[in-house]
């Protein structure tokens, strides 16, 4: 890839007249890389051990690396396409390549991905915080604070709604740093329990097989975790010197670091519980484990502080598609309430996090990672589709179509079971009690 684009290494991508924000960038490579890493390593990391459970440990790790490499490549294609079409956003790029239908498709996907993520955050908050509250003296399984529907509703009304109402995302500037710190704490808790708890739980029969039939569904979960394309243009334009050379460095550093952390987290979680690993890893730990209770609290807080960022994206898409102007105060509040009400309702009706992550990855993340960047690049590039420099984008596009079709098929044929609030069987055995 680098040798194909090398002649533009010192040139600014995306011309200034179509993306004057590029000239306003003041962020260093390290700062931009930090923001990019934070956009990749988010709350979706909790589902990575589940992806290994579906695919098998060796094949799952190979798929994780493959998704990371394709993510890295497609991000470069995205900005490259923006340069060719003089577009400064994902929607503008799709419009340049495929007209208004392309704009509508990307807008739909950019709405669906964060919206379904909001649903998954609600589900996770309910599963996680109910267990935290039950560690409070006097709060038993029948207490109101142990009811996930009540907890999700109160978290939405008291925390997520107020944080989602500001007009400008800059007002949540400290959330990114807080989220990274909380994710680091969660990572340390999972790693520690892999060492102390893992040896006490017998591996399941198929724990170490190379691959499993649900590997395609695992790609959906992995894509859900790695997708960062919806804010790639914004991050690119924040560079002090937005050249291809600098963008390559940022992308490679960010995706590379995220891959290492994600793989370590996935392996630690999966090897602890093997075939019992659930979509929400914290569902696997015992309720009386106080260290994990602290980890659950950190994760619940991380979920609630990340949720508003997704709401900002969905609200902006609604504004761009239906209003085509800045929302009035009443419209702003009304759209926010409608989005939060819909996400709350869906999370109360359906509570299987693993399937939600799979479908979001298959329906939203795979098209935005595999299909659309490649299709835009191929459409905007001069010459025939099967020239040598177009072979790899074509292969990525076809792989994305294959993964979407087979992923939806296997999700329907092999639905995954999940449980909420049930104490895992190994927590009741004398040889599997978590260490204090």
Q: Is residue 252's pLDDT more than 50?
A: yes
What was the pLDDT predicted at 302? 84
- Determine the average pLDDT of the residues in 152-174: 82
Helix or strand or coil: residue 432?
A: helix
- Total residue count of the chain as it appears in this document: 436
Beta strand spans in 20-150 (E): none
Dihedral of alpha carbons 426, 429, 431, 436, sign: positive
Assess whether pLDDT exceeds 80 at residue 428: no
User: Does some domain include residue 343?
Assistant: yes
Indicate whether 90 belongs to any domain.
Answer: yes
Q: What is the pLDDT of residue 420?
A: 59
The reply to whether 113 falls in a domain is yes
Averaged pLDDT for residues 197-212: 93
pLDDT for position 409:
87
**Structural domain contains residue 28:** no
Q: Classify burial at 16, counting beta carbons within 10 Å of its beta carbon; exposed 0-12, middle 13-18, buried 19 or more.
A: middle
Selected residue with higher pLDDT from 281 and 18: 281
**25: pLDDT confidence band, cut at 50, 70 and 90?**
low
Residues 374-388 have pLDDT tens digits of 999 999 988 776 677
Q: Any bridge partners for residue 339, and if so which?
A: none
Task: Give me the domain span that covers residue 77.
Answer: 42-237+263-432
As to burial, measured by CB atoms within 10 angstroms (0-12 exposed, 13-18 middle, 19+ buried), residue 7 is exposed
pLDDT value of residue 191: 95
The mean-pLDDT minimum among 52-61, 291-300, 359-368 falls in 359-368
Query: What dihedral angle (degrees, nearest 10) is formed by the CA atoms of 220, 221, 223, 229?
Result: 120
- Between residues 132 and 429, which one has the greater pLDDT? 132
Q: What's residue 255's pLDDT?
A: 93
Query: What is the pLDDT at residue 421?
Result: 59
Sole residue written with tokens 């409608």: 338
Highest mean pLDDT among 164-173, 303-312, 336-345: 336-345
Confidence bin at 151 (pLDDT 50/70/90): very high
The residue-averaged pLDDT of 385-395 equals 82
Residue 102 has pLDDT above 60, yes or no: yes
Evaluate whether 292 touches 286 at the Cβ level (below 8 Å).
yes
* pLDDT of res. 356: 79
Residue 1 inside a domain? The answer is no
Q: Tell me if 260 sits within 8 A of 400, measured CB to CB.
A: no
> What are the structure tokens assigned to 279, written together?
């979509």
Tens digits of per-residue pLDDT, 258-309? Answer: 999 999 999 999 999 999 998 889 889 998 899 999 999 998 888 888 888 7
pLDDT of residue 9: 47
* Cβ atoms 64, 263 nearer than 8 A: yes
Tokens of 11: 């040139």
Q: How many CB atoms lie within 10 A of CB 52?
A: 27
Higher pLDDT, 15 or 406: 406
Q: How many separate domains does the chain show? A: 1
Residue 385: per-residue pLDDT = 66
C-alpha radius of gyration, the chain, whole number: 22
Instruction: Please give the average per-residue pLDDT across 236-259, as a whole number.
Output: 85
pLDDT given at position 330: 94
**DSSP line for 356-376:** HHHHHIIIIIHIIIIIHHHHH
Instruction: Give the global pTM.
Output: 0.82
Kindly state whether residue 36 falls inside one of the protein's structural domains: no
Residue range 346-371: average pLDDT? 85
Tokens for 101, please give them: 């239908």
Give the Cα separation of 147 and 150 in Å (integer).
6
> What gap in Å lies between CA 54 and CA 303, rounded to an integer?
24
313 vs 318: CA distance, rounded Å: 9
11 has a pLDDT exceeding 60: no
Mean pLDDT lowest among 135-149, 168-182, 291-305: 168-182
Report the CATH number at residue 55: 1.20.1740
How many helices (H) and strands (E) are present in the chain, helices listed first? 17, 0
Establish if 17 belongs to a structural domain. Answer: no
> Between residues 70 and 9, which one has the greater pLDDT?
70
Rounded Cα distance between 165 and 71, Å, is 32
More confident site: 403 or 176: 403
Nearest to 41 by CA among 300, 255, 304: 255
Instruction: Provide φ and ψ at 142, rounded to 5°.
Output: -95, 0
In a domain, 424, yes or no: yes
∠ CA 341-343-344, rounded to 5°:
65
Cα 57 to chain centroid distance, Å, stands at: 21
Lowest mean pLDDT among 59-68, 130-139, 227-236: 227-236
**Alpha helices, H only, 274-289:** none
From residue 326, alpha-carbon distances to 334, 390, 403, 433 in Å are: 13, 39, 37, 55
Three-state secondary structure call for residue 12:
strand
| More reliable by pLDDT, 61 or 121 | 61
Q: Is the pLDDT assigned to residue 116 strictly greater than 90?
A: no
pLDDT band at 402 (very low <50, low <70, confident <90, very high): very high
State the average pLDDT over residues 175-196.
87
Rounded CA separation 301/394 (Å):
41
């Amino acid at each position: 890839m680098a040798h194909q684009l090398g002649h533009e290494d010192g040139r600014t991508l995306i011309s200034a007249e179509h993306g004057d924000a590029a000239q306003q960038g003041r962020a260093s490579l390290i700062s931009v890389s930090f923001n990019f890493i934070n956009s990749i390593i988010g709350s979706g990391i909790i589902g990575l051990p589940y992806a290994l459970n579906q695919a098998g440990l060796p094949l799952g790790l190979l798929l994780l690396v493959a998704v990371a490499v394709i993510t890295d490549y497609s991000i470069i294609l995205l900005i490259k396409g923006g340069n060719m079409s003089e577009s400064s956003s994902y929607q503008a790029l799709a419009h340049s390549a495929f007209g208004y239908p392309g704009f509508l498709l990307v807008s739909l996907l950019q709405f669906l991905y964060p919206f379904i993520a909001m649903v998954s955050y609600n589900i996770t908050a309910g599963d996680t915080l109910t267990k935290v509250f039950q560690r409070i003296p006097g709060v038993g399984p029948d207490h109101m604070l142990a009811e996930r529907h009540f907890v999700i509703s109160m978290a939405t009304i008291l925390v997520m709604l107020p944080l989602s109402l500001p007009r400008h995302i800059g007002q949540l500037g400290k959330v990114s740093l807080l989220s990274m710190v909380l994710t680091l704490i969660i990572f340390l808790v999972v790693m520690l329990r892999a060492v102390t708890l893992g040896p006490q739980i017998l591996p399941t029969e198929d724990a170490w097989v190379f691959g499993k039939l649900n590997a395609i569904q695992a790609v959906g979960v992995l894509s859900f975790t790695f997708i960062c394309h919806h804010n790639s243009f914004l991050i690119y334009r924040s560079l002090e010197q937005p050249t291809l050379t600098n963008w390559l460095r940022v992308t490679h550093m960010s995706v590379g670091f995220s891959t290492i952390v994600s793989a370590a987290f996935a392996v630690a979680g999966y090897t602890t519980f093997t075939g019992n690993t659930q979509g929400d890893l914290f569902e696997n730990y015992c309720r009386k484990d106080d260290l994990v209770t602290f980890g659950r609290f950190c994760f619940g807080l991380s979920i609630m502080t990340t949720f508003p960022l997704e709401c900002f994206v969905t609200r902006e898409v609604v504004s761009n598609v239906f209003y085509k102007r800045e929302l009035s105060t009443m419209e702003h509040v009304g759209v926010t309430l409608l989005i939060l009400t819909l996400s709350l309702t869906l999370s109360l009706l359906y509570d299987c996090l693993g399937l939600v992550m799979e479908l979001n990855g298959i329906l939203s993340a795979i098209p935005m990672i595999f299909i659309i960047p490649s299709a835009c690049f191929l459409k905007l590039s001069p010459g025939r589709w099967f020239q040598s420099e177009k072979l790899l984008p074509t292969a990525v596009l076809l792989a994305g179509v294959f993964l979407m079709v087979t992923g939806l098929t296997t999700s329907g044929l092999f639905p995954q079971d999940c449980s909420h609030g049930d104490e895992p069987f190994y927590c009741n055995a004398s040889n599997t009690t978590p260490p204090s």
